[in-house]
């Protein structure tokens, strides 16, 4: 007893000493801020590494305390204590990786490269600790059949995480697994950093305004400001960020410049320079396969899918194949229609990839009298945001109120408090809307600076963030969104709701399978363009006029136009991801470009449609996160299309009973139950693919 007291006292004294040494490091102090938000403005680059090191050390001490507990292992003293371990490290990681994605700099990238192998080894040392696993297994063997509900799920998920983490491997194989995990973490990080550098490096400078025919005044003004900041006043500068390249491909009359821009976009990470991602991919694929075989699986997809809804690669391919045939047929018909349009208008060239968006826009305008320039004035960013707030208030009774006196992750971010219908605080939601090429990752995502949890029986509310890359306002004109960007807003807001509503007791059951996580986000997209919703938020930014019914009708009639392209480019990337990860051996002369070409050719992808992501900038799979999982969006679309039918069947897209059921059975539950079980409890049956095919105009 005396010895135990001495060790405990030594630990306390050591911690006090470390805290004193880091008195100026915000991570080592209480955050006396509004809503307990991180004091972002006080956190400097030099604060991260000491905080990471301390976080790993504290978690090791927590693990040692579990192992050294003289009492027989049980659910409370082993599983619950393990679930709570690593709080300090989690706090540091949430801030660092959130900022590193949204507002990085060279020093942060160096820190990321430095800490990645250390964190990988730290996680492995926990999962591969034989004494810790011995206690976990003892509780599992003794208590699994006795426990119920969330406790049973936590025990199951904890045990499975150790087994999947290699706890049952031999000592020799565990050493190998640590080595593989360390290499994989570094390669994934390098891939992402290379892509960020490649995207920022490519620019097109235009010095004649006549070359910009077809482009909107807003896009030209933004390009002129960009050029001015780069020292090219009087010219126009274009980059590869989505708010620039997509409207450029859609509207620029200059065919040569469209080709230059698209080739630059498609060749990111494939320029045979220091940021070339082909060697990274070759190593990633080989190491992932080696890891899968070490874990007794024939390929990496088989290993990755074990804890997802799909369960196995065959189920994924079965879904993709069902959609591919009708999608490619529609795409081919659209290509033929565009070729006819080109010929009819005096063109003597064949349709190419850099022509697709341009002529698709021309056809939509001709057939439906609609284009993006007609709808943008009604999609002022702030109005779209308020439209999202309106939808969820009608569905769930929750409200969002802007808060000013709270630290923000970037100077451009805004913050809103979310309250439940009864006034209960649910959490904080940050928005960081605008592109920052070179410092912000591309695309849009929802993350968090604190996850929902429970402490001393009290719910700790989450701090959620939505990050996107919209074009910032120019002059006195507000940010006006395209229809696709509106859909993106609603999508990420759905992820945010999932985080804000989550109400689970244990961290270990907070997450959901990768192919289920897109259900809450994608179902929100269904409300974006419903006439009742449009008439609330779609107001002309100058006159305040509500979007006219005539324009709504045009949007509805054109809703399925272009789905051949959208579906095919997505499925092509999904096949590419899966094909890499069902390999059971790697040829000695393996070539990324040849493999990609063969994968797409055998599916019959037409040359005018590149996959949504080519291998060398396919961060979803090569950067981790959606490895052997990019199919998840279409898998979840089967769910979300079927789930929205539940509202439509009631004759009211805001049906309270259905909304309450969706919240209680899906949004609040985290991973406390099997995903399909939760869905069936909401819907009454497993989903069918029919609604998806109908929504996409493929049936």
Active site residues: 492
Please, what is the end-to-end C-alpha distance for the chain in angstroms?
A: 73
Place of tokens 């305390």: 65
CB 578 within 8 Å of CB 313:
yes
DSSP per position, 592-641: HHHHHHHHHHHHT--TT---SS-GGG-HHHHSSSSTTTTTHHHHHHHHHH
Give CA–CA dist 624/183, Å, rounded. Answer: 13
> What own/partner pairs with CB < 8 Å and gap ≥ 24 does 284-288 have?
284/184, 284/187, 284/188, 284/191, 284/622, 285/580, 285/581, 285/583, 285/586, 285/590, 286/586, 286/590, 287/180, 287/183, 287/184, 287/187, 288/184, 288/581, 288/627
| Separation between Cα atoms, residue 259 and residue 353, nearest integer Å | 8
**Cβ pair 541, 377 in contact under 8 A:** yes
- Helix/strand number for the chain, H first, E second: 28, 9
Pick from 424, 372, 376, 377: nearest CA to 398: 424
174, with CB counted inside 10 A (0-12, 13-18, 19+), is: buried
Token pair belonging to 470? 């919209």
Q: How many CA atoms lie within 13 A of 392 on its CB side?
A: 29
Q: Tell me the chain's radius of gyration from C-alpha atoms.
A: 26
Looking up tokens 């009742």, which residue turns up?
532
The two tokens of residue 24 are 């100026």
Please list the helix, strand and coil fractions of the chain in percent, rounded to the nearest 5, in that order: 60, 5, 30
User: CA separation (Å) from 562 to 179, 231, 397, 545?
Assistant: 46, 39, 35, 29
575 touches 316 (CB < 8 A): no
Q: Which residue has the tokens 């969002």?
A: 400
Distance between CA atoms of residues 109 and 114, nearest Å: 9
Contact 295, 307 (CB under 8 A): no
Report CA-CA distances (Å) from 226 to 220, 239, 268, 395, 590: 10, 9, 21, 41, 41
The Cα–Cα gap between 350 and 641 comes to 36
Find, among 220, 335, 204, the residue nearest to 263 by Cα.
Answer: 204
Other residues' Cβ atoms within 10 Å of the Cβ of residue 7: 13
Host H or E run for residue 430: strand 425-434
Alpha-carbon span 446 to 492, nearest angstrom? 6
Q: Determine how many CB atoms are found less than 10 A away from the CB of residue 604.
A: 11
432 forms beta bridges with 467
């Amino acid at each position: 007893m005396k010895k135990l007291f001495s060790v405990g006292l030594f630990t306390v004294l050591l911690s006090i000493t470390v805290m004193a040494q880091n008195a100026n490091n915000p991570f080592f102090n209480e955050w006396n801020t509004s809503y307990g938000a991180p004091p972002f403005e006080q956190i400097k680059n030099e604060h991260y590494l000491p905080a990471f090191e301390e976080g790993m050390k504290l978690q090791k001490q927590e693990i040692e305390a579990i192992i050294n507990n003289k009492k027989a292992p049980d659910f409370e003293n082993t599983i619950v204590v393990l679930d709570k371990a690593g709080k300090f490290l989690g706090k540091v990681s949430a801030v660092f990786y959130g900022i590193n994605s949204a507002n990085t700099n060279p020093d942060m990238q160096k820190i990321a490269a430095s800490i990645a192998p250390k964190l990988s080894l730290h996680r492995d040392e926990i999962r591969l600790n034989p004494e810790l696993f011995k206690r976990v297994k003892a509780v599992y063997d003794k208590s699994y059949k006795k426990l119920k509900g969330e406790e049973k799920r936590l025990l199951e998920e904890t045990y499975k995480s150790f087994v999947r983490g290699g706890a049952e491997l031999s000592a020799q194989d565990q050493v190998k697994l640590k080595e593989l995990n360390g290499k994989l973490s570094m390669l994934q990080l390098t891939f992402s950093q290379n892509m960020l550098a490649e995207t920022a490096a490519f620019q097109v400078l235009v010095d004649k305004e006549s070359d910009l025919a077809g482009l909107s005044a807003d896009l030209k003004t933004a390009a002129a400001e960009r050029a001015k900041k780069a020292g090219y006043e009087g010219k126009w500068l274009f980059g590869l960020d989505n708010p620039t390249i997509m409207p450029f491909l859609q509207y620029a009359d200059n065919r040569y410049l469209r080709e230059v821009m698209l080739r630059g976009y498609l060749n990111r990470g494939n320029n045979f320079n220091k940021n070339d991602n082909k060697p990274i991919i070759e190593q990633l694929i080989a190491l992932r396969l080696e890891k899968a075989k070490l874990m007794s699986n024939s390929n990496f997809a088989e290993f990755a899918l074990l804890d997802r809804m799909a369960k196995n690669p065959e189920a994924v391919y079965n879904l993709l194949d069902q959609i591919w045939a009708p999608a490619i047929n529609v795409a081919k018909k659209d290509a033929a229609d565009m070729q006819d349009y080109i010929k009819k208008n005096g063109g003597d060239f064949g349709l190419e990839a850099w022509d697709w968006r341009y002529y698709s826009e021309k056809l939509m305008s001709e057939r439906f009298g609609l284009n993006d320039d007609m709808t943008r004035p009604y999609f002022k960013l702030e109005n779209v945001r308020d439209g999202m707030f309106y939808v969820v208030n009608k569905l769930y009774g929750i409200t969002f109120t802007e808060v000013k006196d709270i630290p923000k992750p970037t100077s451009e971010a805004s913050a809103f408090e979310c309250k439940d219908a009864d006034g209960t605080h649910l959490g904080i939601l940050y928005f960081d809307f605008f592109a920052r090429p070179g410092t912000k990752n591309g695309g849009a995502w929802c993350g968090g600076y604190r996850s929902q949890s429970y402490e001393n029986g009290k719910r700790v509310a989450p701090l959620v963030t939505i990050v996107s890359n919209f074009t910032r306002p120019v002059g006195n004109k507000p940010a006006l969104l395209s229809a696709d960007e509106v859909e993106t807003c609603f999508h990420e807001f759905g992820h945010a709701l999932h985080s804000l509503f989550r109400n689970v007791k244990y961290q270990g059951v907070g997450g959901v399978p990768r192919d289920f996580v897109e259900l809450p986000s994608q179902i929100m997209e269904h409300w974006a363009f419903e006439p009742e919703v449009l008439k609330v938020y779609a107001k002309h930014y100058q006159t305040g006029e509500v979007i006219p019914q005539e324009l709504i009708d045009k949007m509805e009639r054109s809703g399925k136009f272009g789905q051949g392209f959208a579906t095919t480019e997505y499925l092509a990337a999904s096949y590419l991801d899966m094909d890499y990860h069902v390999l059971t051996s790697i040829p000695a002369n393996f070539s990324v470009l040849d493999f990609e070409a063969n994968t797409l050719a055998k599916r019959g992808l037409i040359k005018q449609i590149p996959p949504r992501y080519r291998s060398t900038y396919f961060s979803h799979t090569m950067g981790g996160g959606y490895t052997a999982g990019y199919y998840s969006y279409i898998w979840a679309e089967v769910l979300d299309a079927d789930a929205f039918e539940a509202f439509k069947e009631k004759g009211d897209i805001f049906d309270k009973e259905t909304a309450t059921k969706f919240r209680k059975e899906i949004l609040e539950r985290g991973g406390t139950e099997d995903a399909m079980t939760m869905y069936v409890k909401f819907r009454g049956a497993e989903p069918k693919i029919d609604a998806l095919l109908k929504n996409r105009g493929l049936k």
